[in-house]
């Protein structure tokens, strides 16, 4: 077991890699009651073409999410939800572009609960009948998302950002792709991506790391796994340009929404991400002159939203707003991004809030767990130096970096209200 200190934040992270390749990260926080456990595979909706038994396969969109639903099906009819419910724990699962996570939280029955998540995720049971039954449920889930304008906005923007990378498709898939999924395809995906060597557990909360690692070790020793196979996923030579420069759609919204997304090729590290976030924050948060002028001119009434996605080699920076004049707003944002001058005072103030946001994050076992998972997925290891990394951000590097980026590579989207028929 390896112990690393979460620098400057009074927290320790324990790490162990088992013989079967499973990785375990434990971060004890003993002044609170709850415990949060996540069990993830590095397999998300982005992976649809890969090698299985040395043959190239292509699977339907949304299959990672479908598989997530189906893992709850057990041959002996064990009801996973009942199991956790009877132990007063919350249990759930989720799928994003780059990983699938099975999780529970609850302050008691720790050993049983951990064994259960390992056992049900490691015992797939798919039949034609239980696969078909799930389709109706997932199609209702798709329709629920189609009625959420913000979800549609993100999906559409990513669709228009990427030309070939599967990031351009919604995580959940489409009604047609979901309807086409078979149990054989589910087993293919399961056998390729759910080997322990492609998976990791993150435990945060009121726990003893030794106890956790022993429970998991003992559980895994009882099971047999195939030899670790090298996973070969299709690589996409994604062009730098966005796939569609502009787009307009109609949805059930009252006030039009608009968004611009910059597709940025940049080395993936935490400093670069922080610098870009700081730039967009300085430009488009409520402390900027730009926003205050837009409000005075009555182009917008509320602040804009800045967000990002770094699931691929590209960093996508989003700016989203609500306005009756979407074209005017988009033009102003584009123009604002041609002036990259930021005051040092503003930079330092934003840095101060970034630093305190790290402390806020460590107060919550859910945020901590997600932070660790994200690091593992994005950087393949946990970054225990985050606090110091932010402390070391400096104005000179910042200004130098942002000058090197091409902010002409963007896509815009306008969402207009749908007329009621």
Active site residues: 68
* Minimum distance, C-beta of residue 250 to other proteins, in the bound complex (Å): 9
- Closest CA relative to residue 158, chosen from 232, 38, 261, 22: 261
Determine the interface stretch with other proteins among 85-93, 119-127, 186-194, 406-414 (rule: CB under 8 A). Answer: 85-93
What is the crossing angle of helices 183-193 and 63-70, to 10°? 90
Q: Which stretches of 106-245 are assigned E, i.e. beta strand?
A: 199-205
- Closest CA relative to residue 189, chosen from 77, 100, 76: 100
Residue 88 binds to other proteins (criterion: CB under 8 A):
yes
* Minimum distance, C-beta of residue 357 to other proteins, in the bound complex (Å): 6
3-state secondary structure of 379: helix
DSSP 74-126: -TT---HHHHHHHTT-EEEEEE-SS-EEEEEE-SS-HHHHHHHHHHHHT----
- Rounded CA gap, 387 and 408, in Å? 32
* Minimum distance, C-beta of residue 17 to other proteins, in the bound complex (Å): 30
Which class for 136: exposed (0-12), middle (13-18), buried (19 or more C-beta within 10 A)?
exposed
By CB under 8 A, the count of residues binding other proteins is: 65
From 210, 301, 343, 388, residue interacting with other proteins (rule: CB under 8 A): 301
Phi-psi sector, 205: left (phi>0), alpha (psi -120 to 50), beta:
left
Determine the interface stretch with other proteins among 50-58, 251-259, 331-339, 377-385 (rule: CB under 8 A). Answer: 251-259
* Residue whose CB is less far from other proteins, 77 or 267: 77
From 208, 302, 397, 408, residue interacting with other proteins (rule: CB under 8 A): 302
Report 172-191 residues binding other proteins (CB under 8 A).
175, 179
CB of 220 within 8 A of CB of 388?
no
From 1, 221, 359, 406, residue interacting with other proteins (rule: CB under 8 A): 359
Q: Could you tell me the strand order of the sheet in which 257-265 lies? A: 246-251, 410-417, 257-265, 314-322, 305-309
Report 55-84 residues binding other proteins (CB under 8 A).
79, 81-82
- Helices (H) and strands (E) counted in the chain, each on its own, are 15, 14
Return contacts of 13-16, CB within 8 angstroms, 24+ apart.
13/372, 13/382, 13/384, 14/209, 14/213, 15/382, 16/213
Residue 107 binds to other proteins (criterion: CB under 8 A):
yes
- Rounded CA gap, 44 and 37, in Å? 19
* Minimum distance, C-beta of residue 205 to other proteins, in the bound complex (Å): 9
Residue 403 binds to other proteins (criterion: CB under 8 A):
no
* Residue whose CB is less far from other proteins, 171 or 377: 171
Residue 108 binds to other proteins (criterion: CB under 8 A):
yes
* Residue whose CB is less far from other proteins, 156 or 263: 156
* Minimum distance, C-beta of residue 352 to other proteins, in the bound complex (Å): 6
Residue 244 binds to other proteins (criterion: CB under 8 A):
no
Determine the interface stretch with other proteins among 106-114, 222-230, 311-319, 335-343 (rule: CB under 8 A). Answer: 106-114
* Minimum distance, C-beta of residue 167 to other proteins, in the bound complex (Å): 23
Residue 33 binds to other proteins (criterion: CB under 8 A):
yes
* Minimum distance, C-beta of residue 385 to other proteins, in the bound complex (Å): 18
- Closest CA relative to residue 228, chosen from 191, 195, 188, 193: 195
* Residue whose CB is less far from other proteins, 32 or 221: 32
Q: Which residues bind other proteins (CB under 8 A)?
A: 31-34, 79, 81-82, 85-89, 91, 106-108, 133-141, 143-144, 146-149, 175, 179, 252-255, 285-289, 291-292, 295, 298, 301-302, 322, 349-350, 352-353, 355-357, 359-360, 362-363, 365, 418-421
């Amino acid at each position: 077991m390896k112990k690393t200190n979460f620098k400057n934040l009074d927290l320790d992270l324990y790490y162990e890699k088992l013989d079967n390749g499973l990785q375990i990260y434990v971060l004890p926080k003993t002044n609170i009651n709850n415990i949060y456990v996540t069990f993830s595979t590095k397999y998300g909706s982005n992976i649809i073409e890969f090698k299985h038994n040395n043959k190239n396969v292509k699977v339907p969109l949304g299959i990672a999410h479908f598989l997530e639903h189906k893992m709850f099906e057990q041959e002996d009819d064990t009801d996973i939800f009942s199991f956790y419910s009877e132990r007063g724990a919350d249990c759930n699962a989720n799928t994003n572009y780059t990983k699938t996570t099975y999780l529970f939280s609850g302050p008691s029955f720790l050993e049983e609960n951990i064994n259960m998540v390992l056992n049900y995720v490691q015992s797939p049971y798919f039949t034609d009948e239980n696969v078909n039954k799930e389709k109706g449920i997932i199609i209702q889930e798709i329709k629920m998302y189609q009625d959420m304008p913000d979800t549609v906005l993100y999906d559409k923007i990513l669709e228009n950002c990427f030309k070939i990378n599967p990031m351009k498709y919604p995580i959940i898939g489409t009604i047609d792709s979901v309807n086409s999924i078979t149990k054989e395809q589910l087993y293919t995906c399961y056998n390729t991506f759910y080997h322990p060597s492609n998976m990791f557990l993150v435990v945060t909360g009121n726990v003893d790391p030794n106890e956790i690692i022993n429970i998991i070790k003992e559980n895994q020793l009882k099971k047999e796994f195939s030899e670790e196979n090298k996973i070969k996923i299709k690589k996409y030579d994604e062009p730098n340009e966005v796939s569609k420069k502009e787009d307009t759609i109609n949805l059930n919204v009252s006030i039009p929404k608009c968004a611009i997304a910059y597709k940025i090729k940049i080395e993936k590290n935490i400093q670069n991400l922080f610098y870009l976030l700081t730039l967009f924050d300085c430009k488009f948060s409520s402390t900027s002159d730009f926003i205050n002028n837009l409000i005075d001119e009555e182009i917008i009434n509320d602040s804009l939203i800045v967000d990002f996605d770094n699931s691929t080699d590209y960093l996508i920076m989003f700016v989203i707003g609500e306005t009756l004049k979407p074209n005017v707003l988009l033009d102003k944002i584009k123009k604002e991004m041609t002036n990259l001058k930021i005051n040092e005072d503003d930079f330092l103030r934003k840095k101060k809030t970034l630093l305190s946001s790290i402390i806020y994050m460590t107060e919550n076992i859910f945020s901590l767990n997600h932070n660790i998972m994200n690091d593992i997925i994005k950087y393949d290891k946990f970054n225990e130096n985050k606090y110091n990394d932010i402390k070391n951000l400096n104005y000179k590097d910042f200004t130098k970096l942002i000058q090197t980026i091409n902010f002409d590579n963007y896509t815009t989207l306008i969402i207009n209200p749908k007329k009621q028929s």
